[in-house]
Structure 1
Amino acid sequence: MSDLTSLALELDRETQRRLDRLAEVRQLSPRAMMNEAIVQYLEREEKSEVSRQKSLDAWNEYQATGLHLTGDEVIAWLETWGDENELPAPECHK
């Protein structure tokens, strides 16, 4: 039993022409190219959604607790990275 499913997709003529031309150059079927494009799009968007959710979670935590670091504190810490006197990460504060 196959794990594939079928999906109808309507493309304008110019997009179809571009797809066909590139598929020919790459020696792939248009179907294979569309499948790869969809997989790549989903992977990129899923990563973006995870990042967006982490940002919202961090914002909500800040709203609830008020804990934060200033930009200057973070920069001062980052400037010590790789040095023999590298500082530990600063503690969040109100």
Structure 2
Amino acid sequence: MTTSIKTDEDLTSRTQQLPNTQQRSVRCCMREVLPRLVAREVVRKSFKREALVSWNAYKETGEHLTGAEIRSWLKTWGTEVASDLPPFHD
């Protein structure tokens, strides 16, 4: 599939300079960049969906952990005294 896009002069100029510094064509650079962009957007969308689920659960139950509780728990990761996730509270 062939696709073309229009860009402003600044982006066009920077895009054309990039392959020169890496000895690759614009097409090669775009084929490398687009999959990364798509993957990043998929992750971002998933993160947002998870955040909304968490927010709705909090609004319904009021159960939560404070930032300090989470940081304290995370500090135990990878240590001999690693602990389980603290219980949620109101």
Which residue matches 1:58? 54
Sequence identity of aligned pairs in percent? 30
Larger radius of gyration: 1
Q: CA deviation at 1:59?
A: 0.5
Q: In structure 1, what is the Cα distance between the partners aligned to 2:71 and 2:12? A: 49
Question: RMSD over aligned Cα, in angstroms?
Answer: 2.0
Where does 1:24-63 land on structure 2 (aligned, <5 Å)? 24-63=20-59
In structure 1, the partner of 2:4 is: 8
> Which TM-score applies when normalising by structure 1?
0.74
Task: Extract unaligned runs of 5+ from structure 1.
Answer: none
Partner of 1:87: 83
In the comparison of the two structures, how many residue pairs are matched?
89
**Aligned counterparts of 2:36 and 2:12: Cα–Cα separation in 1:** 19
TM-score by length of 2: 0.77
- How far does residue 61 in structure 1 lie from its aligned partner after superposition? 0.9
For the structure 1 residues 89 and 30, does the alpha-carbon distance in structure 2 shift closer, same or farther, using more than 3 Å as the test? same
What code does the residue aligned with 2:20 have?
A: E
The equivalent residue for 1:78 is 74
